[in-house]
Amino acid sequence: MQINLTPEQIEIVESKARIKTLVASRRWGKSVLDGDYLAYTAWKYPESESWFVAPTFARSITMMQQMAKAYGKFIRKVCTQFPKPQLIWHNDSVTAFRSAENEASLRGWGLKLVCIDEAAYIKRAIFDAAILPMIADFKGTILLNSTYNGRNWFYDLCQKASKDTTGNYAFWKYPAKTCLCFRGEDGLKNLAFMKSTTRQLEWLQEFECEPIVSENSVFNPLDVDECIGGNALTESDKRTPFVIGLDIGRVKDLSVAITMRPNYEVVNEMVFPKGARYDDVCAKVAELSQKFDNCLVVADTTGMEARDARSGTRDSTYEFFKDRIPNMYPLLWNAQNKRNCIEHLHLQIQNHKLKIPAECHELISQLKVYQYSQGELSMYPSYGARGGEHDDATTALALCANAVLEHRVPLDNQPMTRYI
């Protein structure tokens, strides 16, 4: 098997790092590298299994078709059956093609190589919980390649890789001027034409490989990074009062509890996985409140307060939580009070008044991808996470901010019963 790679691509393939991160311009050859790397690995390691993972199933199928055409004489069988298409090589190696759209298909073990195409556009949870464990058995390798998608989790991983001294991580960055198709006189003219017809922000991110803040981001990721600091606590240090914000996840969402001092110093993050039992959530949040001096728990009960027109009963989920968390205060979000809270948080983050311990990974990553949108006829903007991301920790933090703004939490150690 003969594979034609550029010197830069050869360096990436031959690197001994376990986690390889590549940020490269459009037209650099990221997908070509994925296909050749997967073929090289399949042929070099008989009976091994490798995966190609893309943001969409259509992209995965396209890669399979391209590899089947390029390496057909080395392939014994092409399996196109949804949802697990794969190539079976003559040496009994398997190259499978998966989509980040279908989390259920991302379950496996003993993988020699995983190539993640446009990694910045898949959810962090998929990488952390589904993909990363699959290379543990046989000391496999993961190659994540992409353009940046703002300063999200992929940007953070690239920063970590660029500073790594253990040899486990590696980072490469290749802007447009390094592309073969943009070299020479004609290539440079084509590059100049592309620059003249591309919006500046898109050019910086897609061609110059410089991460930008999304035009509709609520919080600047650089400001969020400046807010990282302070100490995480598991119980009260008796210095100040505390307040807990609780976002209750339903079916597809996380449940998250954030504990904060009135001076906007976050001290604890408690994240419950999707599908967590409500009795477990209630028990742990009630215990958390007790550890922090029986502090107030502000819960988002939007959509839970409506009474049934015939029976007059409250939402059963609301009643369940209210009965089990003694200090719970229900908060109903509306366009105005949510906007006030988010804008207030924006000021705290912009002025670096908010402090978040580095251990609060979920909150930090969610703040960086929190966005707003506003229709032409809307009076107030709507807020939420970018597609495919979560905003539960951000909402929990906003609940804490609401308690401070509405004076439901004292600024000193006064009895909490006055504020419930």
pLDDT one-digit tens code per residue, 153-183: 898 899 999 999 999 999 999 998 888 888 8
Residue in 337, 411, 346, 367 with CA at minimum distance from that of residue 269:
367
Same domain, 149 and 242: no
Q: Residues 102, 181: one domain? A: yes
Q: Which of 206, 233, 258 is the last residue of a domain?
A: 206
Which range in 117-121, 177-181, 368-372, 378-382 is most confidently predicted, on average pLDDT? 117-121
Same domain flag for 197 and 244: no
Task: Please report the pLDDT score of residue 225 as a whole number.
Answer: 87
Half-sphere exposure of 192 (CA within 13 A, CB side): 6
Q: Is pLDDT at 103 greater than 80 in this prediction?
A: no
Minimum mean pLDDT among 21-30, 280-289, 296-305: which range?
Answer: 296-305
Rounded CA gap, 290 and 288, in Å? 5
Q: Are residues 78 and 202 in the same domain?
A: yes
Q: What's the gap between Cα 327 and its chain centre?
A: 32
Strands (DSSP E) along 161-305, which ranges? 169-174, 243-247, 255-260, 266-272, 296-300
Checking if the pLDDT of 418 tops 50, the result is no
Residue 257 lies in a domain: yes
* Residue 213, in any domain of the structure: no
Cis before 55 (ω within 30): no
